[in-house]
Structures are given as C-alpha cells and as structure tokens.
Amino acid sequence: MKTVTLVFLAFWSLFILPLTTPYPKKFNYSVDEEKSVVEWTGASPNTAHQGSFAVTSEGIEVIDGQLKGGTFVIPIASIKNYDLPKTIKPVLLKHLKSKDFFNIALYPEAKFTLTNIAPLSNIVEGAVEGANVMVTGSFTLIGNTHTISFPARLDLQENALAVEATFKLNRIQWGMTYAADPKLKNRHIFPEVDIHLKVSGVRNEG
C-alpha cells in the first residue's frame, strides 16, 4: 500500500510542479528624458568645451530585480554647449555636427546596447563615487560599433532606477580623427572625451 501511495504522489507531482514553478518577474523601464543626460568635455592644449546630449530608451529590462538589458539612443541633434557665449556657440555646434565630427547628415544617432552588468567590488580610478557595477555593452557612433565597459553607480528600485557614470571615450576608435594629430600643437584636439552619464528610468505600466 505504501508503495502504491508513493507512486501515486510521484505521478501527481508531474501535474502539480509546472503549476507551482515560479516564473521570473520581468519589467520594462523607460528613460525619464527630463532627468537624463550625457555630458561631455572635449579639450585641446589651451582650452576645453563642455556640453551635453539627450538620451532616451523605451527598452530597459529588469528581471527578478536585476538589470539585464537595454538600448539607449543619443540623438546627435540634441547636442548642447555650456561654456561659449551665445554668439559663438552655434559655430561650434555646427562644426561638431559636420562630417569632421559626428556627420549628423548620415548618422543622426549614437546608440548603446547593454550586454552585461556585473557587481563591482574594487575601486576603479576615475569612477563615479559609489560605483557598484561594471557596465558592458556595444556603442555605435558614426557607423562604427565597439564594445566598451565602464564602472557605474546603479540604484534600482521597484518603480524607478538611476545610473550615473564617469569615464573616457577615445573618439579615434570610432573613426573620428579630426585634429587628432599631436603635430598640430595648439590646434590639436585630444582624442579622449570625458563622459558624465546620468540616466533616470521609470517602470512602464502593465
């Protein structure tokens, strides 16, 4: 009788277990465009300029409380300059949009696609204060795509998330070589651009 009972329970479990197996909780978040920005600083031997880009995304995926994926779009037309007078500012922005730099006529967007995020336990030089994750993804700029990794501070809540990071990008890697030759001396523009990323997201309804 005992054997029959065990067999019956084993048979019955084949139907019960699929009903009780927990499924991963998946949520999508969208970027809060009013609170999100990509700030940049470009420099030459004698001067530096600061500005920003807007950033947007409707596809940030969180599974079981962990950030798993997302694609972030940077519209190049949103570029701003912070430091120049109003009369000179348009001259710089027009040049940055030209084929010498972003070539906006052919490449109106830059894009970052998250491929991995891992806990960060060590201190990384130049990282934002409180950095707790290492972010890796593919970054597409003026038609070229390369993998980048950078430390970031991630604050993930049930209905909101925030990411902040500071790192450097070498524009030459994406083919942006204008004035990159040190032989130009004072007209030389350093290849590395300082990036300060601040992204806020909200969970989508439904």
Domains of the chain (ranges; CATH) run 24-203 (2.40.128.110)
Distances (CA, A) of 123 to 119, 154, 163: 12, 15, 17
For 179-200, what is the mean pLDDT? 97
| In contact, 179 and 155? CB cutoff 8 Å | no
Specify the pLDDT at position 205: 84
Range 16-20 average pLDDT: 49
Q: Is the pLDDT of residue 12 over 70?
A: no
State the pTM of this model.
Answer: 0.88
DSSP character string of 131-157: --EEEEEEEEETTEEEEEEEEEEEEE-
Where does the pLDDT of residue 8 fall: very low under 50, low under 70, confident under 90, or very high at 90 and above?
very low
Structure tokens at 115: 């491929």
The average pLDDT across 104-110 equals 98
> 147 φ, ψ to 5°?
-80, 135
| C-beta of residue 152 within 8 angstroms of C-beta of residue 128 | yes
Q: Is the pLDDT of residue 11 over 50?
A: no
CA count, 13 A, side-chain hemisphere, 128: 21
Rounded-to-integer distance, Cα 117 and Cα 110, Å = 20
Least confident of 4-8, 93-97, 169-173: 4-8
